[in-house]
Amino acid sequence: MDFTEYEHKLLVENEVKVNYYISRLLFYNAIIIVSVIVFLQGMGIYIFFIDDAVFNIIAAFILLILPRIFTLLKAHEKSWFKYVQLFLVIIMVPFVYLEYDYMVLIIWLFPLLISSLYCCNKLNIITVILNIIIFGFASYLRSYIRLQHNLIPNHTNLFNDFIVSFSTYSMLVLISFSIIYISTKKTNRLLHGMIKNKKYEVMSNTDSLTGIYNHRFLMNELEDKSLLYKRDNIVFSAIIFDVDYFKKINDTYGHIEGDQVLIKISQCLIKTIRNIDIIGRYGGEEFLVILPNTTKDDAVLIAENCRKAVCNMHINNHNIEVSISGGVDEYNGIEITDFMKKIDEKLYLAKEQGRNRII
């Protein structure tokens, strides 16, 4: 197993969850804000001239719900989704700002707060730059509209008005960014530390060749399952598979090909067993499958399916015929070591009876 790749996978999974969480947050905010505006208007509390603001309200509402719509198409699983989501939020803000002016200046911090949830300072910097650029255009447009409505006497005052609003906002954003940067940096270290700990935990429980669980993890799982059986009478079964004539494969094709055979068999078994089942390398060319909530009869059927699937495998370019034998039993409350010994005896019996069979 490539553990660097696994670490990246954990980071991506975290990002996907954040994408989904933020899209829902934006959606509910849009619904709540519009509902509050309509309610206040109905109560006669005129916080704005609604006839003038209706286009801005609709535009801001659409931009806020778009990320949630994209998640229905699984777009939040893509690496570019966070950039699109932030861009939609940033361009939403001018619609509100142009209508309500400095009353809602605090909303310009909204994109920064969202980007901080990703624990990525690179994304924070991109957000700040894009935020300031778009606000520059919005500030100039605001000053120009004020000039058109004779709120600014001339073009000289237009420029002064633009500079005041733009510099004030830029200073607020940069101060806010500094605070968020410091907090995000610490959070980012904590996140990566947690992921590294998770990676080391997986490494300690994983067979380095096949990428499935190792003997240590399997024995711990068996002990846990035995406790559940004794406490709640939850049944489980187990299968030990052994590769037939594996020494002959190593002697004929070499240990590298032998390793490939083990990898291919582990992949085949993973595809054949159920999602709830636990598979690992028990030792050498032996594999152990733990089957929760499964009786012996059902376990035998699963073992047979695995045996047939391995027999139908194709190994690289060599015409290597591979088969497995298996021992199956249902746990009945005895010591785990005795339970495994019983299954091992059945596996040995399957070998004695000609291999490529389940007992």
Question: Same structural domain for residues 126 and 272?
Answer: no
Question: Same structural domain for residues 177 and 245?
Answer: no
> What's the pLDDT at 103?
47
> What's the pLDDT at 188?
66
CATH number at residue 222: 3.30.70.270
Q: Residues near 198 by Cβ (< 8 Å), separated by ≥ 6?
A: 10
Residue 281, Cβ density class (10 Å: 0-12 exposed, 13-18 middle, ≥19 buried): buried
**Reduced to 3 states, what is the DSSP secondary structure of residue 321?**
coil
Last residue of a domain, one of 171, 204, 237: 204
Give the integer Cα–Cα distance in Å for 298 and 76: 39
| Domain coverage including residue 238 | 215-352
Last residue of a domain, one of 166, 184, 204: 204
> What's the pLDDT at 297?
94
> What's the pLDDT at 242?
95
What are the b/e assignments for 177-210, b being 16+ CB within 10 Å?
Answer: beebeeebeeebeebeeebeeebeebeebbbeeb
Question: Same structural domain for residues 143 and 227?
Answer: no
Last residue of a domain, one of 185, 204, 223: 204
Question: Same structural domain for residues 153 and 222?
Answer: no
Q: How many domains does the chain have?
A: 2
Question: Same structural domain for residues 183 and 223?
Answer: no
> What's the pLDDT at 50?
46
- 359 in a structural domain: no
- Going residue by residue through the chain (359 aa), what tens digit of pLDDT does each one get? 444 555 566 667 778 888 888 888 888 888 887 777 667 666 665 554 445 567 777 887 888 889 989 988 888 888 888 888 888 888 887 776 655 555 455 566 677 777 777 767 777 788 888 878 887 887 787 777 777 777 777 777 778 878 887 787 778 777 777 776 776 666 666 666 666 666 666 677 888 889 899 999 999 999 999 999 999 999 999 999 999 999 998 888 888 888 989 999 999 999 999 999 999 999 889 999 999 999 999 999 999 999 999 998 877 666 788 999 999 999 999 999 999 999 999 999 999 999 999 99
- 210 in a structural domain: no
- 357 in a structural domain: no
Question: Same structural domain for residues 158 and 219?
Answer: no
Q: Residues near 331 by Cβ (< 8 Å), separated by ≥ 6?
A: 225, 226, 229, 235, 236, 237, 238, 339
Q: Can you list the alpha helix ranges (DSSP code H) found in the chain?
A: 3-42, 50-72, 81-100, 110-116, 121-148, 155-205, 215-232, 246-253, 255-272, 296-311, 336-352
β-pair type (236-243, 278-283)? unpaired
> What's the pLDDT at 49?
47
Question: Same structural domain for residues 223 and 344?
Answer: yes
- 288 in a structural domain: yes
Residue whose tokens read 């489980």: 236
Question: Same structural domain for residues 28 and 176?
Answer: yes
